[in-house]
Amino acid sequence: MGILEKMRLDGKVAFVTGGARGIGKSIATALAESGSHVAIVDMDIAEAQKTATEIASLGVKTIAIKTDVTNEEDVNKMMDTILATFGKLDIACCNAGICINEAADTMTYAQFKKVIDVNLNGVFLTSQAAAKVMIKQGKGSIINTASMSGHIVNVPQPQCAYNASKAAVIMLTKSMAVEFAKTGVRVNSISPGYIGTDLVLEAENLKALIPQWNALSPIGRLGRPDELQAIAVYLAGDTSDFTTGSDFLIDGGFSSF
């Protein structure tokens, strides 16, 4: 069997949080194109259902689940729905996240807690729920979305809460990977750089920053959501069985200097 055949995900089951749009949607699409069934998990259930319908056209089974990743009861219900529908879970993409651009001296504590709750606590709850299932199965891959912001301090926009949350996701990933290493469950993270999602391209406050970001980037442009697909498929499949506890920077060289 060749490497491309080995990278197929036929018959596997995945969930992607924040899967309705942007990076999450792109990863969910790639998993489905590789043969995996996919649960699209998002707070925006209408958009999640739309995405699930699009992905179902690829010939896999998809469902949309409305879930608040910061709510433990909601996450447990999500897992119950996935297991009732598919009977197992092979791939967990814990991708949901938010960013509030506010200076550290003016950010409210409520704003800070909201970012940490979604970006860190949400990743913990969803990856923990996935791990409980995968450990019983003896195999599984958890892929957490971190960020180059877990490695650098972004400029010119202030985003201390986001940076702190993503750095914590990277260490959470490594810690879980070590704890689960002998169970057959692997845990890795992907750290994207600036990606040209609709959110970035359409938000006036972010669009104005793109020229500055591009000027600081060795490659001179934003990344595309589809440029994160290959690493997600690799980490989801059996060819990455020896890969755990790793963080993959996909940032066009932005954080290399």
**pLDDT tens digits for range 129-186:** 999 999 999 999 999 999 999 999 999 999 999 999 999 999 999 999 999 999 999 9
- Residue 194 annotated to the active site: no
Least confident of 22-31, 81-90, 112-121, 207-216: 207-216
d(CA 114, CA 93): 21
Under 8 Å between Cβ of 186 and 142: yes
163 in any annotated domain: yes
Structural domain containing residue 126: 3-195+225-249
Least confident of 32-41, 129-138, 198-207: 198-207
- Residue 166 annotated to the active site: yes
Residue 257: is its pLDDT beyond 90? no
**Between the CA of residue 169 and those of 103, 115, 130, 245, what are the distances in Å?**
21, 12, 16, 11
133 in any annotated domain: yes
d(CA 38, CA 14): 5
Task: Provide the CATH number for the domain around residue 182.
Answer: 3.40.50.720
203 in any annotated domain: no
202 in any annotated domain: no
128 in any annotated domain: yes
205 in any annotated domain: no
Given 162, 189, 191, 217, which residue is catalytic?
Answer: 162
Given 12, 26, 34, 166, which residue is catalytic?
Answer: 166
**pLDDT tens digits for range 204-230:** 888 889 999 999 999 999 999 999 999
- Residue 162 annotated to the active site: yes
Model pTM? Answer: 0.97
81 in any annotated domain: yes
96 in any annotated domain: yes
d(CA 185, CA 181): 6
Number of domains forming the structure of the chain: 1
